[in-house]
Amino acid sequence: MNEWPKIDRARSTERIRNDVETLAGSDYTLSSEAIRRYAYTDVYRATLHYFTRAWEELGFTVTEDPIGNLVARNRPPGEPVFGIGSHCDSNRNGGKWDGTLGVVSALEVCRCNAELGLDLPLQAISFLEEEGSGFGQMVLGSRIVAGRVEEQELREAFVAIDDGRPFWDHAQAAGYEPTRWRDCAHILDDLTGWIELHIEQGRVLQDTDKRFGVVRTIAGYVHGDIFVEGRADHAGATPMDMRCDSALVAAKTIVELERLAREAGSATVGTVGEIEVEPGLINAIPGRTRISLDVRGPVDEIVHGVVRGIVAFAEQTASDGGMSATNPTGREATSL
């Protein structure tokens, strides 16, 4: 191509805005205050219909894979296509741009492709359950596509937040074929690349006045818990040198996580977002304290190094105070 096609940006902006605003309407969200949309609900189904109609108008073939990832393409199976898209489920109280913007923008690319007569080979995908609002499992649709799940998890372990029934049952009730979940991998067969537009979920662009950024790496994460076992005693009657205060170990561990994450560099971040203290009384020394761990970063070895470091620190600090700290695997497994 000798010159760039001339895009009517104002028109595209308007259409993207219109789609996003429409999908923030009451037919497409379970909440009147925010976007609440997750797999196999009526509002999610309506959203897929919205996109299906729009793509079909452009002459695309629209299908859903066996568990409900939406695929729209303008080439027959077997021909190479370039991938675009995102997800259109939301957090339980999500914003209207999160995910939806990427699918709407993919649709706009397809509209421009038609209007400008470019005939680019395209395949759009809207992945199911990226946010985990339905079943508590983040990026579930793409994990199934990537084969990063066990069948037992789909059949039993992954249950709906709303009613406790398994993913498998919900998928079947919605008319899908979870028994064929391994076939979902084929939606990637013809892709030669992938571009996804997504809002930034942090505040770096906003606070530095940048309009967009390009993602160069994807951060993995480890979620876990540290439990500190001390001894609950009376806050007034127990002298300072006779205490086994589990909250003290937790507090030092939180400070140490801050230090370790900063020291690790390479965009590593560490957060303790949950603290549970037992018995949780103003006049009782905490006998047991749980803190959550969320450690992320683009370099797996560094992330795991920080996790090992913080667990070892908690164990040592607890032991120095005559207590114990453990990091049972209850929630430790969630690492990508």
Q: How far is the CB of 201 from Zn ion (least distance, A)?
A: 7
- 93 or 192, CB closer to Zn ion? 93
Instruction: Fill in the amino acid letter for 169.
Output: D
Q: How far is the CB of 96 from Zn ion (least distance, A)?
A: 12
The CB-nearest residue to Zn ion is 99
Q: Which of 180, 121, 113 is nearest to 151 (CA)?
A: 180
CB atoms within 10 A of CB 99: 26
Of the candidate spans 99-107, 114-122, 148-156, 178-186, the one that interacts with Zn ion by CB under 5 A turns out to be: 99-107
Cα of 224 vs its chain's centroid, Å: 16
- 99 or 141, CB closer to Zn ion? 99
CA dihedral angle for residue 161, residue 163, residue 166, residue 171, rounded to 10 degrees: -90
- 37 or 73, CB closer to Zn ion? 37
89 binds Zn ion (CB under 5 A): no
SS3 of residue 211 by DSSP: coil
129 binds Zn ion (CB under 5 A): no
Q: How far is the CB of 159 from Zn ion (least distance, A)?
A: 22
99 binds Zn ion (CB under 5 A): yes
Q: How far is the CB of 75 from Zn ion (least distance, A)?
A: 27
Q: Looking at the DSSP assignment, which residues form a beta bridge with residue 72?
A: 62, 124
- The tokens for 322 are 């005559």
Q: How far is the CB of 200 from Zn ion (least distance, A)?
A: 10
Of the candidate spans 13-21, 36-44, 91-99, 133-141, the one that interacts with Zn ion by CB under 5 A turns out to be: 91-99
- Would you give the DSSP letter of residue 227? E
Of the candidate spans 9-17, 96-104, 153-161, 207-215, the one that interacts with Zn ion by CB under 5 A turns out to be: 96-104
Q: Say which residues have a Cβ less than 8 Å from residue 247's Cβ, sequence separation at least 6.
A: 228, 230, 277, 286, 289
- 55 or 97, CB closer to Zn ion? 97
Residue list 197-236, contact with Zn ion (CB under 5 A): none
Q: How far is the CB of 90 from Zn ion (least distance, A)?
A: 8
Of the candidate spans 10-18, 98-106, 111-119, 204-212, the one that interacts with Zn ion by CB under 5 A turns out to be: 98-106
196 binds Zn ion (CB under 5 A): no
Q: How far is the CB of 24 from Zn ion (least distance, A)?
A: 15
SS3 of residue 290 by DSSP: strand
Separation between Cα atoms, residue 286 and residue 276, nearest integer Å: 10
Instruction: Fill in the amino acid letter for 148.
Output: R
Of the candidate spans 94-102, 163-171, 238-246, 283-291, the one that interacts with Zn ion by CB under 5 A turns out to be: 94-102
Instruction: Dihedral sign for Cα 20, 22, 25, 28, please.
Output: negative
CA angle 88/89/90 to nearest 5° reads 115
Rounded to the nearest 10 degrees, what angle do helices 246-264 and 300-320 cross at? 150
Are 332 and 225 contacting, i.e. CB atoms less than 8 angstroms apart?
A: yes
Q: How far is the CB of 142 from Zn ion (least distance, A)?
A: 11
Q: How far is the CB of 103 from Zn ion (least distance, A)?
A: 10
Residue list 263-302, contact with Zn ion (CB under 5 A): none
- 65 or 129, CB closer to Zn ion? 129
- The tokens for 176 are 């899908």
Separation between Cα atoms, residue 333 and residue 329, nearest integer Å: 6
Query: How many residues form the binding site for Zn ion (CB under 5 A)?
Result: 2
98 binds Zn ion (CB under 5 A): yes
Separation between Cα atoms, residue 280 and residue 261, nearest integer Å: 29
- 74 or 105, CB closer to Zn ion? 105
Q: Which residues bind Zn ion (CB under 5 A)?
A: 98-99
